[in-house]
Structure 1
Amino acid sequence: MMAKIVLFIVLLAAASAHKHHPKFRQESVEYYDNPLSSQIKKVPCTNQRDSLLNDNIEKSRCGAPKEVFVELNPPSKFEKVTPSHVWVKRCVGLCDFDASGSSECVAQSKVDKEITIRIHNMKTKKDTCATYTVEEHLSCGCCQLSSEECGDRIFNPRKCSCQCPNTEERRSCLQKRSQNMRWNRSKCTCEIRKPRRRVQ
C-alpha cells in the first residue's frame, strides 16, 4: 500500500514539473490531427511571417515562364535517351489563390525547341545522335476556361476561348451575311438571323 502512495506522489510531481511557469511566455504552437498534415503546424501570426507569406505568393504567381524539369521519353522501350530530363521554360504558377483554382496559367505564345540527345539501343548496343523537339513557352497568361468546358469545340489557350472545329463552314456562313445568315459560336452552326423587334 505504501509503495502505491509513493508512486502516486512521484507521478504527481512529474506532471507538475511539466506545467508551464506563469512568468515565462508560452508560444502557441498547435499540430493538426490529420496524419497526412504532419508537416503543418500552427504558429503565431507576425509581421515577419506576413512579409514571408506575401513573398511566397508573388513567387508562385503566374507571370513570366519558369524553368521546369521535363522528361524526354525514349522512342521505344529498348532505347535509352541521354539526357533523360532537360530544363525547359513553361507556364506554371497560380492565377487564383483560393482553394477552387478555377483560373489556369497557360501559354499565350510558344515555340518548338530542338534538344540534342544521344539514343542508346540496348539490343544492338549502338548509339545514335538525334534531336528531340520540346515545347517551350514564351509568354503566359491566366485563363478561366479549361479544355473540358469546351466539349466538342477546340480549346485555344492563346486566346483563352473555345473555337469551332468546322472553320470552312464558319467562313462560308460569314460570307452569307447579306442573306440574313449568322454564325452561332456556341453551337458551331449557321443560322438564320432573327429579325430585330422595332421599338415603338
Structure 2
Amino acid sequence: MMARIILLVVLFAAVESAHKHHPKFPQESVEYYDTPLTPQIRKVACTNSRDRLLNENIEKSRCGEPKEVFVPLNPPSKFEKVTPSHVWVKRCVGLCDFDASGSSECVAQSKVDKQITIRIHNMKTKKDTCATYTVEEHTSCGCCQLSSEECGDRIFNPRKCSCQCPNTEERRSCLHKRSQNMRWNRSKCTCEIRKPRRKVQ
C-alpha cells in the first residue's frame, strides 16, 4: 500500500515538472477577458506583423463598396416554406468611425430591387409554386452621421444624409406664397408666417 502511495506522488511530481517552463524559455504573459460581447480576448504583445493584420482588418471593415450579406427570405404565410430560405445580397455594411464613440453610419446612397427566383411549398396542400421574390440590393454606400430614427415623422434621405418632409405638395404650395410673407419650416414641415426682421438702430 505504501509503495502505491509513493508511486502516485512520484507520478504527480513528474507531471507538474513537465508543465513548468524552462527558465531560458519564459512563458509569454497572457491575459484573458471573458465578456458577453467578446467570448475570449487574449492580450498579446504588439508587433509589426500584428499591426499589418490590424490595418488589413480595418480596411476590410471600412464602409465602401457594397458587400455580400446573407439575408433571409420570409415565407408569405406560416403554412408555407420558401426555397432557398436565404440568399446573398449586396448591402451597405461597415464602419465609418473606428473609435468607440463613433456615431457615423454606413448607409445606402442608391439601391435597386433584385428579383430572386424561389419555390414556395404549401405544407397544407403539399403543392409547390414557382415565384419571384423582390429583395433590396444596395449599389453605392456612404457615411452619414444622421440616423433614420432621428428624423421622426420626416423621411430619411441617405443620399443627401438629411431628413425631408413627406408633404411635398404642401411645401411646393408654401414656396409660391413667399410674396405673402410665408415661409416653409423644414424642421416642423409646416407653412408659417415669416417673422418680421428687427430694424438695426
* TM-score computed with the length of structure 2 as normaliser: 0.84
Spell out structure 1 runs of 4+ moving beyond 6 A: 10-19
Amino acid at match of 1:100: S
Amino acid at match of 1:86: V
Decide whether aligned partners of structure 1 residues 38 and 166 sit closer, same or farther in structure 2, where only a CA change above 3 A counts: closer
CA offsets, 1:86-143, max 9 Å, x none? 1111111111112234111111101111111111111111111111111111101111
Partner of 2:186: 185
Partner of 1:3: none
CA offsets, 1:59-79, max 9 Å, x none? 001101111111111111111
Partner of 1:128: 129
Decide whether aligned partners of structure 1 residues 21 and 198 sit closer, same or farther in structure 2, where only a CA change above 3 A counts: farther
**Greater mean alpha carbon deviation, residues 38-47 or residues 56-65:** 38-47
Query: SS of the counterpart of 2:132?
Result: strand
* TM-score computed with the length of structure 1 as normaliser: 0.84
Partner of 1:138: 139
Give matches, 1:13-162, under 5 Å. 21-32=22-33, 34=35, 37-162=38-163
Unaligned runs of 5+ in 2: 1-5
Q: How many percent of aligned residue pairs carry the same amino acid?
A: 90
- How many residue pairs end up in the alignment? 193
| Aligned partners of 1:31 and 1:38 also within 8 Å | no
CA distance in 2 between counterparts of 1:196 and 1:24 reads 80
Unaligned runs of 5+ in 1: 1-5
Decide whether aligned partners of structure 1 residues 168 and 37 sit closer, same or farther in structure 2, where only a CA change above 3 A counts: closer
| Aligned partners of 1:155 and 1:162 also within 8 Å | yes
CA distance in 1 between counterparts of 2:139 and 2:82 reads 26
Decide whether aligned partners of structure 1 residues 199 and 33 sit closer, same or farther in structure 2, where only a CA change above 3 A counts: same
Amino acid at match of 1:173: C
